[in-house]
């Protein structure tokens, strides 16, 4: 019975939304890290 409830939760539309937003948040975080890294490289190149 508990396994059935877990399967129902994993197949719910809420889980689809959660997965989409999780992937979007991860992609945004990676993009932000890449942007900060690129700015750091540019600023280091200007000081030398």
DSSP conformation letters of 1-48: -HHHHHHHHHTSHHHHHHHHHHHHHHHHHHHHHHHHHHHHHHHHHHH-
User: Looking at residue 15, what is its pLDDT?
Assistant: 87
Structure tokens at 22: 């999780």
User: Looking at residue 26, what is its pLDDT?
Assistant: 98
What's the CA gap between 30 and 13, in Å, rounded? 26
pLDDT (tens digit per residue) in 1-48: 577 887 787 788 888 899 999 999 999 999 999 999 999 999 999 886
The pTM score is 0.71
User: Looking at residue 28, what is its pLDDT?
Assistant: 98
User: Looking at residue 48, what is its pLDDT?
Assistant: 66
């Amino acid at each position: 019975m508990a396994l059935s409830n877990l399967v129902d939760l994993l197949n719910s539309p809420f889980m689809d939304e959660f997965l989409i937003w999780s992937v979007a948040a991860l992609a945004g975080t990676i993009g932000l890290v890449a942007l900060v890294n690129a700015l750091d490289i540019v600023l280091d190149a200007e000081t030398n």
